[in-house]
């Protein structure tokens, strides 16, 4: 039987620590709603701007921005429309939730305002 996103996070101490730290920061953003899907979570502020995908030993974060990020931290980038990019970053440690990542999350949040 396939495990839910919550079960995958709860079953992995690294993913759980990262998710907890990430949610502490996301909960500080006004008006966000966390939507649990079968294999991931979406954070929406009117529309989804952040995807949280549990992985073994970490979390893949997908930030929807109006630009492609150019950094060595990028796992994958996909242009989904003329003005939107999905920028994926793999977090293996809560320390990866730093000022740079939070600025990108804020940028995605601001696009939905």
pLDDT of residue 113: 76
pLDDT tens sequence for the chain (113 residues): 568 999 999 999 999 999 999 999 999 999 999 999 989 999 999 999 999 999 999 999 999 999 999 999 999 999 999 999 999 999 999 999 999 999 999 999 999 97
Burial 58-78 (b: 16+ CB within 10 A, else e): bbbbbbbbeeebeeebeeeee
* Per-residue CA distances from 50 to 11, 80, 90, 94 (Å): 22, 14, 13, 17
Q: How many domains does one find in the chain?
A: 1
- Residue 10's φ and ψ, nearest 5 degrees, are -65, -25
Please report the pLDDT score of residue 63 as a whole number.
Answer: 98
Per the structure, the complete domain to which residue 59 belongs is given by 5-111
Other Cβ atoms closer than 10 A to 113: 9
């Amino acid at each position: 039987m396939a495990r839910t996103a919550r079960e995958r996070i709860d079953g992995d101490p690294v993913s759980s620590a990262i998710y907890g730290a990430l949610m502490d920061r996301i909960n500080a953003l006004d008006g966000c709603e966390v939507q649990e899907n079968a294999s991931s979570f979406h954070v929406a502020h009117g529309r989804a701007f952040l995807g949280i995908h549990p992985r073994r030993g970490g979390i893949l974060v997908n930030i929807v921005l109006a630009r492609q990020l150019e950094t060595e931290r990028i796992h994958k980038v996909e242009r989904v429309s003329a003005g939107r990019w999905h920028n994926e970053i793999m977090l293996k440690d809560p320390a990866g939730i730093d000022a740079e990542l939070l600025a990108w999350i804020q940028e995605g949040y601001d696009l939905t305002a």
